């Protein structure tokens, strides 16, 4: 059975969109291209997919797809526009929300009423089956807030020692915060199949030994030249072989998504879409029982209900 068939079965059982965050320990490892390619691959198999640039203040997905959004994810979170105003249609079954570029000190700053949050979640649930977030790199609040809200986190690294060390640091943070986190690993730009497999296995063993965490799934993608990358992004022509090699690597990333979903799907029911928990996690810290604090010092206009013990998700 293909990973796409498996994912469709899982999505039908969960009855809500699955959220996946693509992140990394350091920048420049190919995270955005993998996020875009993953979203395209799933969309090409009939899965209604929303791609969100969540690298707040440093968005670049709009450059990769050669589009200029009128509104961004920051506009949605600050209530300057409705979600549907920020969504761009890219191709069949694939839509995108961009992010601002070149803005400092941009964070998950929420200025939505509880009713607006409920409407946003309901709107997403009605229209999409999969939401792929292109996260920022590192362990800043812009990254960790997102990873705590998503169902599956896919860490992207290269074979460089510094990239591996930074990815391990991110994994350590995620797992220490939530032992139930579903984390997968992609080794990008491997010089050969054997190097990619070896690096993934080394990271898997390191996480098992020092963090006590068994990675649900790993994958690797071999290095492509810049001209080949332009081809897979649809920016130039080229050989079918290059495109197929890239798609084979992306299919292995698709398999990570399906293998990271727990077997017991009752854990991921509609309770993930509770607006109260969503706002609490997005704001990160409570001033008191009624009012969460946001990064800028303002207070979000919400009316919180008693906290539940169940994980929330986008």
The answer to whether the CB of 199 falls within 8 A of the CB of 220 is yes
User: For residue 304, is it within any domain?
Assistant: no
Structure tokens at 40: 């395209």
The answer to whether the CB of 258 falls within 8 A of the CB of 247 is no
User: For residue 307, is it within any domain?
Assistant: no
Q: Give the residue from 121, 6, 102 showing the smallest Cα distance to 62.
A: 102
pLDDT at 41: 94
User: For residue 46, is it within any domain?
Assistant: yes
Strand partners, 133: 21, 52
For residues 281 and 121, give the distance between their C-alpha atoms in angstroms, rounded to a whole number: 15
User: For residue 39, is it within any domain?
Assistant: yes
Structure tokens at 184: 């997968």
Can you list the residues of the chain whose pLDDT is less than 50? 270-271, 285-314
The predicted-structure confidence for 35-44, as pLDDT tens digits, reads as follows: 999 999 999 9
pLDDT at 285: 39
The predicted-structure confidence for 73-110, as pLDDT tens digits, reads as follows: 989 988 889 999 999 999 999 999 999 887 666 666 67
User: For residue 159, is it within any domain?
Assistant: yes
| CATH code assigned at 129 | 3.40.50.300
Which class for 207: exposed (0-12), middle (13-18), buried (19 or more C-beta within 10 A)?
Answer: buried
User: For residue 313, is it within any domain?
Assistant: no
pLDDT at 57: 81
The answer to whether the CB of 156 falls within 8 A of the CB of 31 is yes
User: For residue 302, is it within any domain?
Assistant: no
The answer to whether the CB of 107 falls within 8 A of the CB of 141 is yes
Residues 6+ apart with CB under 8 A from 57: 74, 99, 100, 101, 102, 103, 104, 105, 106, 142
For residues 17 and 15, give the distance between their C-alpha atoms in angstroms, rounded to a whole number: 7
pLDDT at 278: 64
Split into its structural domains, the chain has a count of 1
User: For residue 22, is it within any domain?
Assistant: yes
Range of the domain at 144: 3-269
């Amino acid at each position: 059975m293909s990973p796409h068939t498996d994912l469709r079965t899982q999505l039908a059982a969960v009855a809500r969109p699955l959220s996946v965050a693509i992140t990394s320990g350091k920048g420049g490892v190919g995270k955005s291209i993998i996020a875009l390619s993953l979203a395209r691959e799933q969309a090409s198999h009939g899965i209604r997919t929303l791609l969100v640039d969540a690298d707040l203040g440093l968005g670049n997905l709009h450059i990769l797809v050669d589009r200029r959004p009128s509104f961004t994810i920051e506009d949605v979170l600050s209530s300057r526009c409705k979600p549907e105003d920020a969504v761009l249609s890219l191709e069949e079954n694939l839509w995108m929300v961009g992010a601002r570029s070149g803005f400092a000190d941009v964070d998950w700053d929420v200025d939505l009423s509880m009713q607006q949050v409920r409407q946003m979640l309901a709107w997403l649930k009605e229209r999409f089956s999969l939401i792929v977030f292109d996260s920022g790199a590192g362990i800043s609040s812009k990254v960790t807030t997102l990873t705590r809200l998503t169902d599956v986190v896919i860490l992207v690294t290269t074979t460089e020692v510094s990239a591996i060390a930074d990815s391990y640091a991110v994994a350590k943070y995620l797992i220490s915060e939530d032992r139930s986190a579903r984390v997968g690993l992609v080794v990008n730009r491997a010089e050969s199949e054997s190097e990619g497999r070896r690096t993934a296995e080394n990271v898997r063993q390191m996480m098992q030994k020092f963090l006590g965490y068994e990675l649900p799934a790993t994958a690797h993608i071999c290095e492509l030249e810049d001209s080949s990358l332009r081809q897979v992004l649809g920016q130039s022509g080229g050989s079918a072989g290059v495109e197929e090699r890239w798609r084979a690597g992306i299919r292995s990333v698709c398999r990570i998504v399906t293998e990271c979903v727990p077997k017991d799907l009752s854990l991921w029911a509609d309770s993930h879409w509770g607006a109260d928990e969503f706002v609490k996690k997005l704001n990160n810290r409570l001033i008191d029982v009624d009012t969460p604090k946001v990064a800028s010092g303002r207070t979000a206009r919400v009316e919180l209900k008693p906290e539940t013990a169940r994980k929330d998700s986008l």
